[in-house]
Amino acid sequence: MNSEDFEKLLDLYLKGRLPATQKAEMEKVLDEYKKPGGPALEFSPQDAERLWKRIDERTGAEKPTRSWSWIPMAAALLVATFTALFALFWNASENPQQANKTILPDGTIVWLREGAALTSYPFSGTRRDVSLIGEALFEVSHDPARPFTIHCGKYTASVIGTSFNIKASDSIVELTVLTGKVKLASTTSAESVTVSSRQHVIFSERKGLERKPDPKVEEIEQVLANTQYNMHFEDTRMSDIVKRVEGKFDVTVHVQNDRLLNCMISADFTDQSLSTTLTMISEALGVDYEISGSSVTLRGAGCPE
């Protein structure tokens, strides 16, 4: 691990944004950081001095004598922990974490990864604003009159209606767009970029904008892991589709004619709102629907078994 990676995680810790289990492990290691052991790092003496100064300030530890011989040994004790934590936060695609679903008042669905925090502000007639720390997959409800803006530390992501995965801290943001377009901009400079579907970029204070290779199919699958984003169906019974609709949108579907559950559908409802999904089902099967709060009613003739 180099000093830049190390500092990203140190920044999360110092700002209290590590999950409780990783925070406890971190503090245990920091308590022992002066003990020797381990190989040398990729840190320059200047990097090591700056990083350890931040740790000393946080822990209130008595500063050790600064002879460069102790830096690789003392810092090495942290490397195993920071390497594991870095993998959790910035390489989550290799080991996808569970996602907690949040449905915002406008119908936008957010899948929050472990340790992520989302703050939603009251939506107005002209704006929809939230703040994010950590990683989340967004399915933003389409509304041209009210742009949706995500505040990520020193960056903002602005959209109208689209889906994308974003990882954010105060000084770095990583964006993978699945559908539509997202404008990613710095709040401390004039630098910005518009990212289109199936594109991947990283913005950081240190390196600026980095365009990454377009994500491969398996990388997209990892981004979507443990979410209900994928709503593509091939010759699927309505009974199964109803369960998926209920699970994704937190609604209860009432079918007035049980024969509707026998019908088969091939359709892609991915990245569609509840009303659009029901409209597509209605057109495919010739049925009517009604939404009342968290209750959906389907009416129609249905299909023979």
List the domain range (segments joined by +) for residue 154: 99-224
At 4 the pLDDT is 53
Please state, as a whole number, how many other Cβ atoms lie within 10 Å of the Cβ of residue 196: 12
**Rounded Cα–Cα distance for residues 85 and 13 (Å):** 10
Residue 282 has pLDDT above 70, yes or no: yes
For residues 266-290, one letter each, b for 16 or more C-beta atoms within 10 angstroms of the residue's C-beta and e for the rest, the string is: ebebbbbbbeebbeebeeebebebe
Domain boundary, last residue among 55, 90, 125: 90
Transcribe the chain into DSSP letters.
--HHHHHHHHHHHHTT-S-HHHHHHHHHHHHTTTS--S---S--HHHHHHHHHHHHHHHTPPPPP--TTHHHHHHHHHHHHHHHHHHHHH-GGGSPPPEEEEE-TTS-EEEEETT-EEEEPPP-SS-EEEEEEEEEEEEPPP-TTS-EEEEETTEEEEESS-EEEEEE-SSEEEEEEEESEEEEEESSSS-EEEEETT-EEEEETTTEEEEEPPPPHHHHHHHHTTSS---EEEEEEHHHHHHHHHHHHT-EEEESSGGGGG-EEEEE-TT--HHHHHHHHHHHHT-EEEEETTEEEEES-----
Residues 44 and 148 in one domain: no
Domain count, the chain: 3
Residues 61 and 18 in one domain: yes
Closest to 250 measured CA to CA, from 281, 286, 216, 296: 296
Residues 194 and 130 in one domain: yes
pLDDT band at 171; cut points 50, 70, 90: confident
Residue 184 domain-assigned (yes or no)? yes
Residues 103 and 216 in one domain: yes
Residue 240 has pLDDT above 60, yes or no: yes
Residues 147 and 194 in one domain: yes
Residues 190 and 272 in one domain: no
Q: Which of 52-56, 100-104, 113-117, 173-177 has the lowest mean pLDDT?
A: 52-56
**Rounded Cα–Cα distance for residues 241 and 76 (Å):** 52
- Backbone phi, psi, residue 164, to 5°: -165, 160
Tell me the CATH number at 211.
Answer: 2.60.120.1440
Residues 269 and 199 in one domain: no
Residue 304 domain-assigned (yes or no)? no
Residue 7 domain-assigned (yes or no)? yes
Residue 121 domain-assigned (yes or no)? yes
Residue 159 domain-assigned (yes or no)? yes
Which residue would you say has higher pLDDT here, 241 or 214?
Answer: 241
The two beta strands, 148-152 and 128-139, are parallel
- Backbone phi, psi, residue 295, to 5°: -115, 135
Residues 114 and 208 in one domain: yes
Tell me the CATH number at 248.
Answer: 3.55.50.30
Residues 200 and 149 in one domain: yes
Domain boundary, last residue among 186, 203, 224: 224
Mean pLDDT for the chain overall: 79
Structure tokens belonging to residue 189 = 């400079």
Residue 305 domain-assigned (yes or no)? no
- What average pLDDT does this structure show over 235-258? 96
Closest to 200 measured CA to CA, from 229, 230, 165, 172: 165
- What average pLDDT does this structure show over 241-261? 95
Residues 238 and 278 in one domain: yes
Residues 114 and 213 in one domain: yes
Domain boundary, last residue among 60, 90, 120: 90
**Rounded Cα–Cα distance for residues 267 and 37 (Å):** 58
CB–CB of 287/300 below 8 Å? yes
78-91 pLDDT, tens per residue? Answer: 444 444 444 444 44
Q: What percent of the chain has pLDDT over 90?
A: 53
At 253 the pLDDT is 97
Residues 65 and 131 in one domain: no
Structure tokens belonging to residue 128 = 């929809």
**Rounded Cα–Cα distance for residues 35 and 73 (Å):** 7
Residue 168 domain-assigned (yes or no)? yes
* Residue owning tokens 């946080």: 58
Regarding pTM above 0.85, the answer is: no
At 97 the pLDDT is 62
Residue 10 domain-assigned (yes or no)? yes
